[in-house]
Amino acid sequence: MSTPDTGAGPRSLPAGWAAAIGLLAVLALSLLTVADLAPPAPAPATAPAGEFSAERAQRHIEQIARAPHPMGSEEHTRVREYLVAELRDLGLEPEVQEAVGVSPEEFGGAASVGRVHNVSAVIEGTDPTGRIVLAAHYDSVPSGPGAADDGAGVAAILEAARALQAGGPPENDVVLLLTDGEERGLLGADAFIDDHPLAEDGGTVLNHEARGSSGAVTMFRTTEEGSELVRTFGAAAPYPVADSASATLFGLLPNDTDFTVFSAGGLTGMDFAFIGDSANYHGVLDSPENVDPGSLQQMGANTVALTRALGGQDLGAAGSGEELAYFNVPPNTLVGFPAWWALPLAGAALAAAVGAVARARRRAAVTLPGVLAGAGLGVLLIAAGAAAAMLYWQGLVAARPGFGLMETGTPYRPAWFQGALLLVAAALAATWYAVSRRWIGPHGLALDALLVLALAGAAVAGAAPEASMPLVLPALGAALAGLLVPPSGGTDTPWRPAAAALGLAPAAVFLLAGAWLDFEAGLETGAYLAMLRALLGALLLLPLAGFLWPRRRAFLVPLVALAAAGAATAAGLAVNPLDRTQPVPAMLTYTLDADSGEARWAAPVRPGRPPGPLDAWTSRYVGEELGEDPTPSLGWPQARTGEAEAAPLDAPELDVRKDAEQDGRRTLDLAVSTVRGAEAVGLSIPEEAAEDVRMTVEGREIAPLPDRTGMLGFRFYAPPEDGTVEVRIETAAGGAPLPVRIADFDSLPSALEDLPGYTAPPDDRYLILSRVSVTREYEV
């Protein structure tokens, strides 16, 4: 972990060559790690019957994702009938569960409720000790056909079921569960857990999801104490990809899948998804031709292998075991060990780093104040990297405002921008090295970087041990090299850079390769993690850079890196024109107040994001100024609004069927109806009247406290054929009349087409959120 003192003595040519070879070896290992996690080649339709074939599964996607199919739509019914027919063709006895689901989370301003139709079938085991549940949702968002999200998951289950049966029945039962209403708030999963016999005795669930249309299929979270499941996954799956650090990070983000409900409902299991090409997520380009067949192959082949492995296990023990830290290393290996190892390993890395500093100080290669000052500057460098990532994204949005509207904060073709950010990281590290090396010394700079990494690893190991390996293991490898390789005396032999390169192998896997993989989370958010890893990795490369650093005009190193970053950015802008082949999402809602006859257009603003510039099409309907969203049930409090012409839309109706008082409580039985046959109907009570109010909808209780928008209420999707939803409200007796607001909603973009003054967006835009709503207020 040492470098030659390039200010004294001649440079050793063999050492220079060894450093160059070592540097190339470290970079090659990082590239190998990225390539090792790429999806496999898809298997053709001619593959053996007992194997998973992406080509066979793709045929299901083409049938499922012909068009958007949100719950309650005609296309949704067609997809459900197709799934039932396919399960029958497999020789199974499919069941359709019709029930009411309630979202466990805040999916908008009011509770999300709906009448769902879950499809399930059972491959009966020969000697079951439990159930394996293969789950995916078959509904889509209104804005896209849902080929990847979640047509790929459904298709993978159908093809996996065929392959499993061809290979002979397992010992344990296998439940094929295709849920409804996931996009509306995990409604089908809730209905399954709440009211289905197959959920009564628990089980092991493998949930299939997507947040993009390509990339490695990652097991991104598991239930607590699921170490045995993780070990089984690593041993049985042909292409296992998982990372406990990413799983920990995901748990902090407000992104839920059906797995959230399954886990809370007592099922053990794992959640799988691919997230590459996330610009296609929830959009018109989430279409069959854009689903990566390699990702589909990885998802299905892993499901078949893992189900077969679990099919012969005692599932009663599948969820036992201690917390595990796990990660991938090439070639194609999932490594796991008890998470409590993290603290001893972090302690060893920190001790080795301190030992390396002490050894270098004894040899007069560094001074303690210089090392501490350099470590502080290293922290500032990391902060500068985060600021650079933020400014870079803001610059991209300024150059292409449509980038700021993308659902996952990433362009359609982000690779050039990702490369540019890594070059910016290299330029920052090179600048830091060029400025600091003369007064701290090359060896001191290397130790500074090591101390920063070791301290960060120890801190994370103490707070979240399962997430600390991407920091602890690189720190340990580099620290051992720094401890074993003494500082230079002025001349060097090839073994010194070779030893340094060997110690940097963990950094290549976890930091340099991890920096590139972090970008799949989206350029807007992934850039911060990527910059952190890239800078830490670049700083650890200083022992090798010291052998190769130019004696003259060293300032050209960061300048060349910045120039290359600029060229890559220009190339990225050129391949991301945001035209009809790369449409930008837009939002537009229409609200008619049936009491006043007034109508409003609105373009809601995503919470946590700046509103951005107003495009020409949206400006036809709304103005620049932000105001209150006229559709508060969306849960997005702000919007740009504009006046609209009132359309002849029938208003929803409310009928009081019972109004009784007993024991100091008042009970109201209401019928809320959509006269125009809208997709959803809802009711809300304002915050000032919602205290001490309890509400049930079609027999399911709604959260008794007002949510973040200051109301108590619900949106009921796919109401019964007569459009009527039964509501019971309980409140204190003898009070003032209760104010309620009812509304109905249509969210397919086609609902806007017949409105006066509306014209469809241009080819370079599509509606990711649209809504036609009619409201009316009552006092009951």
Segment 123-141, tens digit of pLDDT: 999 999 999 999 999 999 9
Per-residue pLDDT at 7: 41
Domain assignment present for 624: yes
Amino acid in the structure at residue 273: A
Statement to judge: residues 600 and 529 lie in one domain? no
Among residues 559, 575, 591, the one where a domain terminates is 575
Q: What is the 3-state secondary structure (H, E, C) of 324-386?
A: EEEEEECCCEEEEEEHHHHHHHHHHHHHHHHHHHHHHHHCCCCCHHHHHHHHHHHHHHHHHHH
Pairing mode of beta strands 204-210, 268-274: parallel
How far apart are the C-alpha atoms of 476 and 504, rounded to whole Å? 9
Does residue 490 have a pLDDT over 60? Answer: no
Cα 344 → chain centroid: 31
Judge whether 179 and 136 are in contact, CB under 8 Å: yes
Per-residue pLDDT at 282: 95
How far apart are the C-alpha atoms of 494 and 13, rounded to whole Å? 9
Q: pLDDT tens digits, residue range 45-61?
A: 999 999 999 999 999 99
Domain assignment present for 334: no
Q: pLDDT tens digits, residue range 170-182?
A: 999 999 999 999 9
Judge whether 505 and 544 are in contact, CB under 8 Å: no
* Polymer length in residues for the chain: 780
Percent of the chain with pLDDT over 90: 71
Domain assignment present for 5: no
Domain assignment present for 203: yes
Judge whether 188 and 196 are in contact, CB under 8 Å: no
Supply the CATH number for residue 117's domain: 3.40.630.10
Domain assignment present for 76: yes
Domain assignment present for 441: yes
Return the structure tokens found at 200. 């009564």
Per-residue pLDDT at 9: 40
Which residues are within 8 A (CB) of 156 and not within 5 positions of it... i.e. 6 or more apart?
52, 57, 136, 208, 296, 299, 300, 303
Which residues are within 8 A (CB) of 237 and not within 5 positions of it... i.e. 6 or more apart?
301, 302, 305, 306, 334
Domain assignment present for 543: yes
How far apart are the C-alpha atoms of 320 and 41, rounded to whole Å? 34
How many structural domains compose the chain?
Answer: 3
Statement to judge: residues 550 and 603 lie in one domain? no
Does residue 708 have a pLDDT over 60? Answer: no
Please give the residue that has the higher pLDDT: either 377 or 598.
Answer: 598
Does residue 633 have a pLDDT over 70? Answer: no
Judge whether 65 and 151 are in contact, CB under 8 Å: yes
Statement to judge: residues 69 and 192 lie in one domain? yes
Mean pLDDT of 657-665: 93
Statement to judge: residues 541 and 493 lie in one domain? yes
**Cα separations in angstroms, 109 against 106, 153, 256, 512, 715:** 7, 29, 17, 41, 9
Q: For residue 8, name the pLDDT band (cuts at 50, 70, 90).
A: very low
Return the structure tokens found at 134. 């293969």
Does residue 108 have a pLDDT over 70? Answer: no
Q: Which residue, among 593, 640, 636, has the nearest Cα to 613 in the 3D structure?
A: 640
Return the structure tokens found at 751. 């609902």
Q: pLDDT tens digits, residue range 739-770?
A: 999 999 999 999 999 999 999 999 999 999 99
Statement to judge: residues 608 and 656 lie in one domain? yes
Does residue 163 have a pLDDT over 90? Answer: yes
**3-state secondary structure (DSSP) of residue 440:** helix
How far apart are the C-alpha atoms of 144 and 685, rounded to whole Å? 32
Per-residue pLDDT at 4: 41
Statement to judge: residues 103 and 195 lie in one domain? yes
Please give the residue that has the higher pLDDT: either 276 or 609.
Answer: 276
Please give the residue that has the higher pLDDT: either 183 or 448.
Answer: 183
Statement to judge: residues 346 and 394 lie in one domain? yes
Per-residue pLDDT at 11: 47
Average of per-residue pLDDT values in the chain: 90
Which residues are within 8 A (CB) of 508 and not within 5 positions of it... i.e. 6 or more apart?
26, 27, 29, 30, 33, 537
Statement to judge: residues 389 and 516 lie in one domain? yes
Per-residue pLDDT at 252: 66
Per-residue pLDDT at 76: 97
Q: For residue 253, name the pLDDT band (cuts at 50, 70, 90).
A: low
Domain assignment present for 103: yes
Among residues 575, 609, 634, the one where a domain terminates is 575
Statement to judge: residues 424 and 556 lie in one domain? yes
Q: Where are the beta strands (DSSP E) in 503-605?
A: 584-593, 599-604
Per-residue pLDDT at 493: 64
How far apart are the C-alpha atoms of 131 and 123, rounded to whole Å? 10
Pairing mode of beta strands 665-673, 653-662: antiparallel
Statement to judge: residues 308 and 375 lie in one domain? no
Q: Which residue, among 498, 442, 551, has the nearest Cα to 22 in the 3D structure?
A: 498
Does residue 546 have a pLDDT over 80? Answer: no
Judge whether 721 and 728 are in contact, CB under 8 Å: no
Q: For residue 220, name the pLDDT band (cuts at 50, 70, 90).
A: very high
Q: Which residue, among 260, 189, 163, 178, has the nearest Cα to 220 in the 3D structure?
A: 260
pTM of the model: 0.93
Asked which of 275-289, 581-595, 727-741 is least confident by mean pLDDT, the reply is: 727-741
Per-residue pLDDT at 111: 87
Sign, Cα dihedral of 500, 344, 452, 467: positive
Q: Which residue, among 237, 203, 257, has the nearest Cα to 336 in the 3D structure?
A: 237
Domain encompassing residue 621: 583-780
Among residues 575, 594, 624, the one where a domain terminates is 575
Per-residue pLDDT at 18: 81
Cα 596 → chain centroid: 42
Statement to judge: residues 216 and 198 lie in one domain? yes
Asked which of 8-17, 106-115, 164-173, 350-359 is least confident by mean pLDDT, the reply is: 8-17
Statement to judge: residues 367 and 298 lie in one domain? no
**3-state secondary structure (DSSP) of residue 479:** helix
